C-alpha cells in the first residue's frame, strides 16, 4: 500500500518503521523536522507538509493529542482537504470521543473513509510490531486496514462500526490502569503504615490474584517511590482522565473513581509533580496518611 504517516514520536517512529519493513511505500511527516531521518534511510520519503503525505491509499495518524491532530486534519492544507475520495484515514492517536466524531463526519462529507484504531502498548511494543489495536469503523474499511494492522500489531480487536467507540474504549483502558494505580496506592498506604514490607506485599499480590503486568509495573514504581524519568507523564494521565470524564458526561454516566483520579492528578500537578510518571498519584494516599 501507499501510505502517509503523520506523527513520528516514540510510538509513531516504531510503527512507521514496521510499515516500511512490511514492504509498504511510506511517506512520513512530522511537525518538528529531523524525526524522519532514520526512517528515510530505511526507505521512507520525507514530506515537507502534511499535504504531501496524503496522496496515497491511506494516511495513518499517531499524534499527541486532539490539538495536534486538529492542526493537521482540518484547514486548507489539511488531511481532509488533501486526501483522495475513498482513501482511508486510520487514526491511531489517543484522542477525545468528540474529536473522533468530528473527523468521522468531516471525512464522510468529503467522501473519504475513517477508521479509529487507537493502540495499546509502550514504545518497545510499537518498535517490535507487537501493539494491540482497538479498531472501529465500517466492516469493509477495517478489512482494508488489514495490511497496516498486520505490520504494527500482534492482535486487532474490532469494536463495532462506529469509529468513536474505539476511542472511548482506549480512554476507558487508561482509566482502568489509573484505577489500578490508585487502588494499589491506597492498599500500600494501609499495609505500609501497618508495618508490612511493600515489596513482600507486592510479591504476594502479583504471585496470586493480581498477576497482570500493570500490577507488577505500577506496584513496583509505588513501592520504590521512583517516578522519574516518567514513562507516561502525569499531565498525559490527567488529560486522558479529563477526556474520559468528558465522554462520560456526554453519555450521562457517573464515574466516581474517575472523579477521584481527576482530583489526584490535580493535587499532584498543583504540588510540583508535572515531570513525574503518572503513577506518582499512587503516593498521595500515603502522603495524606502522614507517610512522607
Instruction: Write out the catalytic residue numbers.
Output: 170
C-alpha torsion 118→120→124→130, nearest 10: -90
Where helices occur in 132-255 by DSSP H, the ranges are 139-144, 146-152, 164-193, 198-207, 213-224, 234-250
- By beta-carbon proximity to its own copies, the closer residue of 37 and 197 is 197
**279 near 285, Cβ under 8 Å?**
no
The radius of gyration computed from the CA coordinates of the chain, to the nearest angstrom, equals: 20
**Whole-number minimum distance, CB 253 to its own copies, in Å?**
4
CB burial of 42-55 (b: ≥16 within 10 Å; e: otherwise) equals eebebbeebbbbbe
- The cell for 74 is 482540518
- By beta-carbon proximity to its own copies, the closer residue of 38 and 105 is 105
Half-sphere exposure of 147 (CA within 13 A, CB side): 16
- By beta-carbon proximity to its own copies, the closer residue of 20 and 97 is 97
Question: How many Cβ atoms sit within 10 Å of the Cβ of residue 253?
Answer: 11
Rounded Cα distance, 62 and 90, in Å? 9
User: In terms of Cα–Cα distance, which of 17, 13, 114 is closest to 59?
Assistant: 114
**Residue 21 to residues 28, 43, 146, 188, 288: CA-CA distances in angstroms?**
14, 9, 15, 44, 50
Amino acid at each position: 500500500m501507499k501510505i502517509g504517516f503523520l506523527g513520528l514520536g516514540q510510538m509513531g517512529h516504531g510503527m512507521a518503521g514496521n510499515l516500511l519493513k512490511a514492504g509498504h511505500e511510506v511517506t512520513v511527516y512530522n511537525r518538528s523536522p529531523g524525526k524522519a531521518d532514520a526512517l528515510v534511510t530505511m526507505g521512507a520519503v520525507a514530506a515537507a507538509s502534511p499535504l504531501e503525505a496524503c496522496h496515497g491509499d491511506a494516511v495513518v495518524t499517531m499524534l499527541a493529542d486532539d490539538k495536534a491532530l486538529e492542526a493537521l486534519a482540518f484547514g486548507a492544507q489539511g488531511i481532509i482537504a488533501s486526501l483522495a475520495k475513498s482513501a482511508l484515514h486510520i487514526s491511531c492517536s489517543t484522542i477525545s470521543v468528540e474529536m473522533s466524531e468530528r473527523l468521522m463526519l468531516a471525512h464522510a462529507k468529503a467522501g473519504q473513509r475513517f477508521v479509529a484504531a487507537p493502540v495499546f502498548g509502550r514504545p518497545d511494543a510499537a518498535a517490535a510490531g507487537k501493539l494491540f489495536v482497538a479498531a472501529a469503523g465500517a466492516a469493509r474499511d477495517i478489512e482494508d486496514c488489514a495490511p497496516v494492522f498486520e505490520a504494527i500489531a500482534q492482535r486487532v480487536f474490532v469494536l463495532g462500526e462506529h469509529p468513536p467507540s474505539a476511542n472511548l474504549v482506549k480512554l476507558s483502558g487508561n482509566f482502568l490502569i489509573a484505577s489500578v494505580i490508585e487502588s494499589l496506592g491506597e492498599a500500600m498506604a494501609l499495609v505500609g503504615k501497618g508495618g508490612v514490607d511493600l515489596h513482600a506485599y507486592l510479591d504476594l499480590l502479583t504471585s496470586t490474584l493480581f498477576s497482570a503486568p500493570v500490577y507488577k509495573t505500577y506496584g513496583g514504581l509505588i513501592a520504590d517511590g521512583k517516578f522519574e524519568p516518567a514513562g507516561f507523564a502525569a499531565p498525559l494521565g490527567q488529560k486522558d482522565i479529563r477526556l474520559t470524564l468528558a465522554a462520560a458526561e456526554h453519555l450521562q454516566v457517573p464515574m466516581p473513581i474517575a472523579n477521584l483520579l481527576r482530583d489526584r492528578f490535580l493535587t499532584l500537578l498543583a504540588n510540583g509533580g508535572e515531570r513525574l510518571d503518572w503513577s506518582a498519584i499512587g503516593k498521595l494516599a500515603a502522603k495524606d496518611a502522614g507517610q512522607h
